[in-house]
Structure 1
Amino acid sequence: MLATQGYATLALQYFHAPGLPESLKEIPLEYFDRAIQWLTHRPAVRDGRIGVLGISRGVEAALLTAANYDGPATVIGYSGGGVVGHGVAGVPPRAFIGRPAWTRNGKPVAGSDPVGIVFDAVKDTHQHRCEIESLPDSIRSRVPDETLQRVLVPVEDIDGPVLLLAGVDDREWPSAPVSALTISRLQRRDYSHPYGLRAYCNAGHVFGMPYADYTGSPSNDERGGTSRANARAAANSWPLVLDYLDRGLKQEA
């Protein structure tokens, strides 16, 4: 879908494939850096600025990669956010483990203890309520600021627009509150680029591809949302995604 809009697009698998980790644990962020370099160095690709789109836990990778990128970067995140979580075992992910999901320079991006404290607070405050504006303050009231900062992606270091999309009825991952925390961080740091969060009350974890069939497994009890709500969220968010990409990537002739 992105390629049909004229974007040079690379879909990058980062675990559960030959030569890659078996599951989402200890993924080196340098892997994404190398992929960007490979893509932007191709003759037909303009390399002045990049876009990174992540889905679910891939939103963490997208934000972390963009924050470390030396140049303009636009980030689109579906059903995730800028709070670094635990690694997981199994494919599809079946259980959280006490090992990091992401590393940089061979070191964990976030320690296990602060991750656990923050997500306990997220669980205590998030009850799939559509009103998510108060969630960041509620979480901050339960977690010392020093602990919270150890698991938040430094999203203010991104040089470009940031758009996050979340289903409030997400049953697989607390994407609404972790996205709200990310946007709150940008607000607190007077972020100069366009940014926003679009939360869909009755949507679940899976609603990315517009005009797709959301009956069956995308809308089951584990993933959340109704088929109608997920389909509507996908269709509604697609023009917004294109608008953010246009703002971030099409500013140069």
Structure 2
Amino acid sequence: MQEYRTKETYGDFYENEGKPLVVILGGSRSGLPSPISEHLLDYLKQNYNVLLLAYFGVGDLPKTLESISMEYFVNAISFVKEKHKIADNQVVLIGQSKGGEAALLLSNYMESAITIACVPSCYVFQGLPVTPSNMKSPKSSWSFNNYDLPYIKFYLDKNAMKEAEKKNYCKCYEMSIENNLNKDALININNYKGKILLLSAENDNYWPSKKMSNILVKNSNNKDNINHIVLELEGHYFLNYKQSVNEIIKFLKRNATFLA
């Protein structure tokens, strides 16, 4: 395993010469994506080059999940692709939660063959600062060319805050969409030529991933390229749960024909 620990590329790379590349992006937990099931990681390492890519909260990366540049992802992935002679049509992106949001956004900035977005958002939301006091100066989660991407600001009334105290953040996101909707924040996947798998949760306590995945499908001009599966799961660790991991592996076996 090769460790990259620079501000340009912070990740763990598992080499499998001559194979396609899978890039895994975690959610709102800082550092490298985790937890990941051993079953999923073993399958990927046997069939792909694998890059576990961090994007905030570790090393020289940004300290908070705010204004993370799309260029960081593109350049880090391009570095690995070029070093190991991997073509665009041999790249798979897998993102979980906020990482799913990022993976879908990346369809506008780089080419890949497959995007798997687990419990994703269909919108760009306000970034996640370290302290509540920073909420007074909101930023987008993502940026491009040094400008924040259009985003939905958080709406935090007493009801949403009360739910958040019970670890139910979905109300906050639902109220944010209802009260602070920015149509420009909708993630556009119309120009993406690859296959997309959306895995959402029936009872999502973090944000309305099922509803937002349905919005993605509804607004796409390439519905035939999208497969949306709703799972009876709670929580956002879809890279670790047996049922969601099995769906990811099944999708790859069915659609990653470039392995042949």
Q: TM-score band, normalised by the shorter chain? A: 0.5 to 0.7
> Could you say which residue in structure 2 is the equivalent of 1:240?
247
Structure 1 position 8, deviation (Å): 0.8
> Could you say which residue in structure 1 is the equivalent of 2:128?
88
Q: Quick check: 1:171 aligned with 2:205?
A: yes
Alignment of 1:141-180 (within 5 A): 149-180=183-214
Corresponding residue pairs, total? 202
Deviations 1:117-161 (A, max 9, x none): 9999xx9xxxxxxxxxxxxxxx9xx689xx654011111221111
Q: Quick check: 1:191 aligned with 2:191?
A: no
Q: Quick check: 1:63 aligned with 2:93?
A: no
Distance 2:212 2:57 in 1: 25
Q: Quick check: 1:208 aligned with 2:249?
A: no
> Residues 82 and 178 of structure 1 are in contact (CA less than 8 Å); yes or no, is this contact kept in structure 2?
yes
Distance 2:99 2:228 in 1: 17
TM-score norm. by structure 1 comes to 0.68
Deviations 1:70-118 (A, max 9, x none): x343111112222111111129x9986621110011111114xxx1499
Q: For residue 115 of structure 2, give the secondary structure of its aligned residue in structure 1.
A: strand
Question: Which runs of 4 or more aligned residues in structure 1 lie more than 6 Å from their structure 2 counterparts after TM superposition?
Answer: 117-120
> Residues 168 and 204 of structure 1 are in contact (CA less than 8 Å); yes or no, is this contact kept in structure 2?
no
Distance 1:119 1:163 in 2: 31
Deviates more, 1:14-23 or 1:165-174: 165-174
**CA spacing shift, 1:46–1:105, aligned 2, 3 Å:** closer
> Residues 156 and 191 of structure 1 are in contact (CA less than 8 Å); yes or no, is this contact kept in structure 2?
no
Distance 1:190 1:64 in 2: 16
Q: Quick check: 1:28 aligned with 2:69?
A: yes
> Residues 238 and 244 of structure 2 are in contact (CA less than 8 Å); yes or no, is this contact kept in structure 1?
no
Q: For residue 11 of structure 1, give the secondary structure of its aligned residue in structure 2.
A: strand
Root mean square deviation, CA, Å: 3.3
> Structure 1 vs Structure 2: percent identity of aligned residues?
25
- Equivalent of 1:49 in 90, 103, 119: 90
**CA spacing shift, 1:155–1:46, aligned 2, 3 Å:** closer
Distance 2:213 2:251 in 1: 17
> Residues 25 and 87 of structure 1 are in contact (CA less than 8 Å); yes or no, is this contact kept in structure 2?
yes
Q: Structure 2: which 5+ runs fail to align?
A: 1-40, 161-174
> Residues 197 and 227 of structure 2 are in contact (CA less than 8 Å); yes or no, is this contact kept in structure 1?
yes
Structure 1 position 17, deviation (Å): 1.0
> Could you say which residue in structure 1 is the equivalent of 2:163?
none
Q: Structure 1: which 5+ runs fail to align?
A: 124-138, 210-233
Deviations 1:180-238 (A, max 9, x none): 2112222xx24342x122222352323321xxxxxxxxxxxxxxxxxxxxxxxx32232
TM-score norm. by structure 2 comes to 0.66
